[in-house]
Each structure stands twice: as C-alpha cells, then as structure tokens.
Amino acid sequence: MRTSDIRQEFPLLNQQVNGYPLVYLDNAASTQKPESVLSAIGDYYRSLNSNVHRGVHHLSQQATSAFEDTREYVRNFMGASAKEEIIFTRGTTEAVNLLAESFSRGILSPADTVLATVSDHHSNFVPWQQACLRSGAKFDVLPVQANGTISMELLEEKLRQKPRIVVFPHISNVLGIVNPVKQITAMAHAYGALVLVDGAQGIAHCPVNVCDFDCDFYVWSGHKIYGPTGIGVLYGKKALLEQLPPYQFGGEMIEEVEWQQTSFAALPYKFEAGTPAIAEGIALKTALEFVHRVGFDAIGQHEADLVNHAFEGLKDIEGIEIYGEKTRHSGVISFNVKGVYHYDIGVILDQMGIAVRTGHHCAQPLMKFLNIPGCVRCSFAIYNTVSEVEYFVESLQKALRMLR
C-alpha cells in the first residue's frame, strides 16, 4: 500500500496546528487510529452495547462473541498456544503491575532477585522495584553499554546469581534499540530464570511469536498499535498463570463465593475482574487487522527508510548527540543539541506544527545513566512520510537558529 493511501485512513492527520500541517512524530507515546477502528468503537455502542459473559439475551451474546473473537485474534497474532494465555488489561502498565503484585503475594521471597535493565520504562521498572520492597526480594539492575545495547557477557554475569525473573524491553522507548529477545530468553532459562518482555514498543513494529521467543510473559498496549486506549494484553504461559494468585477481586473472576471463602474462575477470567473495556477490546481486533493488511515487512521497511533519512539529515547538525546504536534502531530517534534545552526545542517545533516528545520519557534511570536530564524524541509510524522527515529536519535547524 502507498503511504498516501494509508494516510487517508487516519482522519486526525488531516489538520493544521498553529497554521501548519500537522506532522505527528510522537508515535512511541501513542499512535493515531484509522477510521476502521473509530467506526468499530462507535458500532459497538450503536448496535451491541451490553455487558459480556454474563447475559443470556441477544445483545450480551453478540457482544461476548465479538469480544472473545478479539482474544482469539490476539492469540494468533502473537503465536500463543491457547486463548487462556491471553489476558486483557488496561495496558502495559496494568499488565506488569498484575504480574508484579501476583509475584509479591507468596511467589517472591527474600532469597529471590528480580533483574531489570537500566533502559526499562518506569512501567516495567517501578512495579518490580516495589514488589521487591514488599516481598524482601533483591532488585538488581543491568546497565547497558555506551551504545545502548545489552552486553551478553554482563548479562550472563548477572544470570549466574540466579535471579527469579528477568524483565526487559523488546524495544527501548528512548533508544529505539531492538533487543535480541530469543537470545536473552534462552540465556535466562538456562540459569532457571523466568522472562518478562515489555512489548509496548515492539508489538507495532515487528512480528511477535511468543512460542518462538519462548518468553514466559509478554505485555503490550493497544494504543501503541493503532488501537484504542484503555486496552492491553498480558500473554503468559498457561502453567505459570495458573500458579499465580489473582490480581484484583470482584465480578467475573469468581467461581463460587461463600461467607468465609471464594474460589476463582479458570483462565483467562481469573485475572479479568469487573466489566472489561468492551468497545476498546472489540476495536483492538480491527487495529490488528489493519496491521495485518499493511504487513510487517512493509511497516519495517518504511520505518527503516524514515529513520535512515532522518539520521542523514540530523547527523551534520552542529552539536547534536543521537543516543543509541543506529544499526539496531526501530522507529525512534532521541537526541540533544549542545547548549540548547530539549524542552525549548519541543516548544518551537510545536509552533511549526510538529509533535515530538521531550523530557525523560518515563525512563529516568536511563537518563541518569546517560547523564542527561532528558532529550528530544521523534518516533515514526506507517503513515509518516519522507517529506515530513525533511520538514522536521529543516524546522529543527530553524528552531536551533532561533534558540542559539
């Protein structure tokens, strides 16, 4: 598909900001939604609006069928073995909190270690840090190399200490570096550790097959992959999920309630207390169908072309420092310019209609590791164009002339 045709599916992109055509380069934070996803949300409320799993009437049955169709589609999209391994959450953050909270309820002990990385998003860093504080387990952090990649030698040193679980990002939300999920998982398993992969930045950019990865858990958010906010996925191996205690309690996740005790429902409902995000869950399938229609080969090639074009334009700017290794990038470029505050760059670019992200990007441990307070991040999606990249580089140069 041509980029011009794809862009026509995203109505939000057809607007002006401060008198300039919108150039949306904040896709690592949240992607825009195609018309098909917007329609799917509206269609639910217009024709299906009813709670799921609980009613025998027509609307409830139809809504349940559509909601569970998404679960099966997600299972296939991720290469999972069974629908029971797909847990719906509000997003990556809740998915990680679910696991960290469940692990802290009798799974982790003071003899255990959780190994995270310095490049983890706060949503995969803080929940495990806090789980360790509650359980008495040790929280250890793996630094990255100067180019942002994980050293396999240093990782193995950490693994020799027998951590209970290793958590790391599929793709860094700051550096754009794609970590070797399959290799890291195999190494961790060889030392008896479980593996959680934060796929928030991975799911929209490259194929994910959890059986091939052999990871124990993989989490992601719908709004990062052209879907709605408020819906996400926790994949977990069935045998492991069955061992974990529930995260929240209430409707839907129970089997039988007595005065003094309660038994809980089977997977996946054990972890899905209360009314789920039904419209968002149904529309998530539509978003994944859009990605499937475009294809990961096309997405990967297009984003690589945009990143390479941006690198070429940025590399000669005086005083610029780009973080991370170019050869392992995926759709994200983060940088600073010597003598110019990153926030000021973002404000001036916004005045020219360009949306980028500035700050610490919910990755303060990484910022401290890089010895910077924050940076500018531009991130690309399938609907961005080469001309937008060129306009971004030209506007950045203009902004720097204004700020210096």
Within 191-266, residue ranges assigned H as helices are 210-213, 238-243
pLDDT at 182 (0 to 100)? 98
pLDDT at 342 (0 to 100)? 97
How is residue 206 written in tokens? 């490259």
Q: Which residues of 357-383 are buried (b: 16+ CB within 10 A; e: fewer)?
A: bbbbbbbebbbebbeeebbbbbbbbbb
**362 counts as catalytic:** yes
Taking the complete model, does pTM exceed 0.75, yes or no?
Answer: yes
Q: In angstroms, rounded to a whole number, what is the distance separating the alpha carbons of residues 395 and 404? A: 14
Question: Which is catalytic among the residues 215, 362, 375, 378?
Answer: 362
pLDDT at 251 (0 to 100)? 86
pLDDT digits (tens, 9 = 90+) for 115-131: 999 999 999 999 999 99
DSSP 8-state secondary structure symbol assigned to residue 142: E
pLDDT digits (tens, 9 = 90+) for 165-188: 999 999 999 999 999 999 999 999
Cα pseudo-dihedral 201, 130, 229, 366, rounded to 10: -30
In degrees and rounded to multiples of 5, residue 385 shows phi and psi of -125, 165
Q: Which residues of 248-266 are buried (b: 16+ CB within 10 A; e: fewer)?
A: eeeebbbeeeeeeeeebbe
Cβ atoms of residues 220 and 233 within 8 Å: yes
pLDDT at 139 (0 to 100)? 98
Tell me the CA distances in angstroms from 157 to 147, 149, 151, 160, one per residue in order. Answer: 19, 16, 10, 5
Tell me the CA distances in angstroms from 79 to 148, 182, 293, one per residue in order. Answer: 29, 14, 17
User: Which domains can be identified in the chain, with CATH numbers?
Assistant: 3-27+295-403 (3.90.1150.10), 38-292 (3.40.640.10)
Q: In angstroms, rounded to a whole number, what is the distance separating the alpha carbons of residues 81 and 56? A: 29
pLDDT at 321 (0 to 100)? 96
pLDDT at 222 (0 to 100)? 98
All residue ranges of the chain with pLDDT < 50 are none
pLDDT at 359 (0 to 100)? 96
